[in-house]
Homo-oligomer: A and B are copies of this chain.
Amino acid sequence: MANLAVSVQEHDFDPGQLQEALLAGASEEGAVATFTGYVRVNNDDRGVSRMMMEHYPGMTEKSIESTLNEATQRWPLIAASVVHRIGELTPGERIVWVGVSSRHRGASFSACEYIMDYLKTNAPFWKKEIGPDGEHWVEARDTDTDRARRWAASE
């Protein structure tokens, strides 16, 4: 059984420490793939001075756990972990971290990308950007939906 972990939290995280934690207790891994998402300074040419990340408590964790479980069905993973921040965030700050370990690199790369693609389209988070022109809810991107669909097509 792969080691799975999900954390939805207001406070920042340290990618290096998360990678150490991902490896703790296992010794068979040859590969770790990680992804870190940041608040962009200039999102779609609108200045963003800060961002509020809303979520659906309870469902968020369940949704991410379900994505991690699906990833372990598809690939031989040793461990997988997701950390996602909520609340107020400023440009340049870390929002999300995904880490996956496995014996060989193919599984880590694919599972890490799969988890991000499903998190983007399934986990109930919503971003509101607050900038000089006021605040607005970020619209979902069709490209995210298309990216998630690629995995269904390759099933």
Q: Could you tell me which A residues sit within 8 Å of B by CB distance?
A: 14-17, 19, 27-43, 91-92, 103, 105-106, 108-109, 112-113, 116, 143, 147
Contact = CB atoms under 8 A, between A and B. Distances in A.
Specify how many copies of this chain sit in the oligomer: 2
A16 B20 CA distance: 10
Contacts of A33: 33-35, 112
Contact of A16 (B16, B28, B31, B32): B16
4 A-B pairs with the lowest CB-CB distances in the bound complex, closest first: A16-B16, A30-B40, A32-B36, A109-B113
Nearest to A43: B30
Given A105-B116, A116-B105, A36 B19 contact: yes
A109 B114 CA distance: 11
B34 A38 contact: no
Contact of A14 (B16, B92, B108): B16
29 contacts: A14-B16, A15-B16, A15-B19, A15-B34, A16-B16, A16-B17, A19-B36, A27-B41, A27-B91, A27-B92, A28-B41, A28-B42, A29-B38, A30-B37, A30-B38, A30-B39, A31-B35, A31-B36, A33-B33, A33-B34, A33-B35, A33-B112, A40-B103, A105-B113, A106-B143, A106-B147, A109-B112, A109-B113, A109-B116
A28 B32 CA distance: 25
Nearest to A147: B106
Given A15-B19, A30-B40, A33-B34, 6 more contacts: A15-B16, A16-B17, A33-B33, A35-B105, A109-B112, A109-B116
